């Protein structure tokens, strides 16, 4: 857990969330699915003129209206209440009523016209009106598609499932002309294109939901995908600044973890633009300065980290390439007070800057790490001033206050790779072992897949022991939910290995060049030369396992 004392922005309490429900009314057309949307009032206090789906708050009557609702065996009480609220809002806002009589006959236009859509005080509750006309709501045919919780930065927040249902035949949407206007049927892809062109304003959850909906070619396919009674995703977005403007992200988006680290309460103050001119403060005791070496293998560049503060002095993790301007900026950010320089491994984008940075310091700090193995490439030779022992602790500060980094040997990407865990704040500095947005290359003979997977297990155990929630990689933004990220990465590696093993079985007389396009068919061919290195590591591991005495 990050110490509150190290947070850059004072904590604040986000607005409480209120229960709500929204429904996407769907219909099939020769051109694909269409969804019903309406335009919000131009005078609305929130999102004026935005196109939305019918929906609103769950009111006190919805939970008491189960008697006029139909129900699936697997539908929970909460899901039923949410479906009732969504159908009520659909009726009030666009005049569409998903209901039938006791014999299953669809509601007639005459009954719909006789019911009061008004929400004014004194109007009979929606459920009472349904009961008076002998109607049962078709809530058994309403399913949860996705689930959103409003961003933490907004003054009004809702906990809202986005439900889906088939549009009933014989009904025509008619907006209430108070809150909603101009009902329109639109294909998800068309709505997204118009939104990108600036002609169809939508809120972030709306267009991200449409983006997911666009993957389906029929209403039946959508309803089938929702039949397990769990949303396809649950998201509470976060926002940062990109190009000086607000930009929102879901949990699987690359910047999300960094926003959770720097602005846990949702303040929109953190700049996400990649630059190499100035250090980026992640916490009071952690700064990142990205080297100006972007590329296919380095992403936005190599992240050099400064851990510490003016009272304790600083430790530098991965000074990066021998770039004099970058090293000068690192030295200046530390005020010249660098106590240690640690290289996570000896690759050319991580370690060459160590000695030149050391030379800038009045009191030269020791360069720490592990010496490169004989298996390393000539361009990756490295010898530290002192080798770091597995489990060793590097402490900045006093016994009462400071920053303690625990060394964890993690061979796999390189034989001399190590990671560092900041104990007091639960931060894992992962070097190249774990990256944000890509998987690291395992390049034999210095790289080894067995060692890599075993090191992932070690990092998972360390994160569990120290309650580490965030990973700070050598390339890319910070990663949240550290143990989940490690688990997904291991699962991905094993799934890739299964595909390689299958390719080897299908082409027993083949070569790695034959297996590569089969096992990496989902990867752009321009990346195959890089993927070939990791394929070689997987093949080596597969053959070792097959040759083991207890192999099946």
The per-residue pLDDT for range 288-323, each reduced to its tens digit, is 999 999 998 899 999 999 999 999 999 999 999 999
User: Could you give the percent of the chain with pLDDT greater than 70?
Assistant: 99
Element (H, E) at 56: strand 55-57
Sequence-distant (≥ 6) Cβ neighbours of residue 76 within 8 angstroms: 229
In angstroms, what CA-CA distances link 329 with 251, 264, 290?
Answer: 32, 28, 10
Mean pLDDT calculated for residue range 234-242: 97
Catalytic residue check, 484:
no
Q: Are residues 311 and 428 in the same domain?
A: yes
Neighbouring CB atoms inside 10 A of 41's CB total 17
What is this structure's pTM? Answer: 0.92
Q: Which pLDDT score is estimated for 1?
A: 86
- 322 belongs to a structural domain: yes
Q: Which pLDDT score is estimated for 46?
A: 73
Q: Which pLDDT score is estimated for 482?
A: 97
Rounded CA separation 167/219 (Å): 10
Does 26 score more than 60 pLDDT? yes
Does 552 score more than 60 pLDDT? no
Does 121 score more than 90 pLDDT? no
Q: Are residues 125 and 227 in the same domain?
A: yes
Does 41 score more than 90 pLDDT? no
- 2 belongs to a structural domain: no
Q: Which pLDDT score is estimated for 178?
A: 79
Does 281 score more than 90 pLDDT? yes
| Local confidence band at 72 (pLDDT 50, 70, 90 cut-offs) | very high
Would you say 66 and 43 are in contact if contact means Cβ atoms under 8 Å apart?
no
User: Of 61, 53, 62, 60, which is closest to residue 82 (Cα–Cα)?
Assistant: 62
Q: Which pLDDT score is estimated for 133?
A: 94
Q: Are residues 120 and 191 in the same domain?
A: yes
pLDDT in tens, 351-376: 999 999 999 999 999 999 999 999 99
- 64 belongs to a structural domain: yes
Q: Which residue has the higher pLDDT, 418 or 180?
A: 418
pLDDT in tens, 395-415: 999 988 999 999 999 999 999
Q: Which pLDDT score is estimated for 44?
A: 77
Name the residue range of residue 242's domain. 238-273
pLDDT in tens, 102-115: 999 999 999 999 99
Q: Which pLDDT score is estimated for 303?
A: 98
Q: Which pLDDT score is estimated for 456?
A: 98
Number of compact structural domains in the chain = 4
Q: Are residues 92 and 208 in the same domain?
A: yes
User: Of 502, 513, 551, which is closest to residue 535 (Cα–Cα)?
Assistant: 513
Mean pLDDT calculated for residue range 142-171: 95
CATH code of the domain containing 299: 3.60.15.10
Q: Are residues 193 and 332 in the same domain?
A: no
- 473 belongs to a structural domain: yes
- 231 belongs to a structural domain: yes
Helices (H) and strands (E) in the chain, counts: 13, 24
153, 309, 323, 349: the active-site residue: 349
Q: Are residues 133 and 279 in the same domain?
A: no
- 8 belongs to a structural domain: no
Domain end, chosen from 179, 213, 236, is at 236
């Amino acid at each position: 857990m990050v110490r509150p004392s190290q947070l850059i922005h004072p904590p604040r309490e986000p607005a409480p969330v209120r229960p709500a429900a929204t429904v996407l009314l769907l219909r099939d057309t020769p051109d694909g699915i269409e969804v019903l949307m309406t335009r919000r009032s131009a005078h609305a206090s929130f999102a004026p003129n935005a196109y939305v789906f019918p929906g609103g708050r769950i009111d006190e009557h919805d939970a008491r209206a189960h008697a006029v609702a139909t129900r699936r065996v697997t539908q929970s009480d909460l899901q039923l209440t949410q479906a009732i609220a969504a159908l009520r809002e659909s009726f009030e806002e666009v005049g569409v009523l998903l209901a039938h009589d006791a014999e299953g006959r669809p509601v007639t236009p005459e009954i719909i016209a006789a019911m009061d859509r008004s929400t004014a005080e004194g109007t009979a509750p929606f459920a009472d009106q349904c009961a008076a006309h002998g109607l049962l709501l078709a809530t058994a045919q309403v399913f949860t598609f996705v689930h959103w919780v409003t961003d933490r930065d907004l003054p009004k927040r809702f906990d809202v499932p986005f439900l889906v249902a088939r549009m009933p035949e014989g009904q025509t949407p008619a907006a209430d002309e108070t809150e909603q206007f101009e009902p329109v049927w639109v294909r998800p892809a068309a709505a997204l294109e118009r939104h990108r062109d600036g002609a169809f304003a939508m809120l972030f959850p709306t267009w991200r939901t449409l983006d997911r909906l666009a993957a389906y070619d029929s209403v039946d396919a959508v309803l089938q995908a929702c039949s397990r009674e769990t949303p396809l995703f649950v998201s509470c977005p976060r926002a940062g600044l990109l190009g000086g403007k607000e930009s929102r992200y879901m949990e699987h988006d690359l910047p999300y973890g960094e926003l959770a680290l720097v602005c846990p309460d949702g303040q929109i103050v953190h700049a996400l633009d990649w630059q190499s001119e100035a250090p980026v403060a992640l916490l009071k005791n952690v700064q990142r300065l990205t080297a100006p070496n972007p590329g296919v293998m380095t992403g936005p560049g190599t992240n050099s980290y400064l851990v510490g503060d003016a009272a304790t002095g600083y430790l530098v993790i991965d000074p990066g390439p021998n770039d004099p301007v970058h090293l000068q900026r690192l030295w200046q950010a530390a005020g010249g007070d660098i106590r240690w320089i640690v290289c996570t491994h000896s690759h050319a984008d991580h370690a060459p800057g160590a000695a030149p940075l050391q030379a800038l310091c009045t009191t030269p700090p020791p360069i720490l790490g592990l010496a490169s193995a004989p298996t390393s490439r000539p361009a990756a030779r490295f010898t530290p001033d002192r080798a770091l022992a597995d489990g060793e602790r590097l402490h900045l500060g006093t016994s009462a206050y400071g920053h303690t980094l625990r060394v964890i040997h993690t061979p796999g990407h390189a034989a001399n790779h190590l990671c560092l865990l900041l104990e007091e704040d639960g931060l894992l500095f992962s070097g190249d072992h774990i990256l944000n947005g890509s998987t690291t290359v395992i390049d034999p003979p210095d790289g080894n897949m067995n060692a890599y997977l075993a090191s992932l297990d070690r990092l998972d155990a360390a994160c569990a022991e120290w309650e580490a929630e965030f990973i700070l990689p050598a390339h890319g933004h910070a990663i949240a939910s550290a143990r989940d990220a490690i688990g997904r990465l291991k699962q991905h590696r094993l799934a890739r290995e299964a595909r390689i093993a299958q390719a080897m079985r299908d082409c027993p007389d083949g070569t790695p060049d034959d297996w590569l396009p089969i096992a990496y068919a989902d990867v752009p061919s321009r990346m195959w030369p890089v993927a070939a290195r990791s394929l070689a590591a997987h093949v080596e591991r597969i053959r070792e396992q097959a040759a083991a005495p207890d192999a099946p």
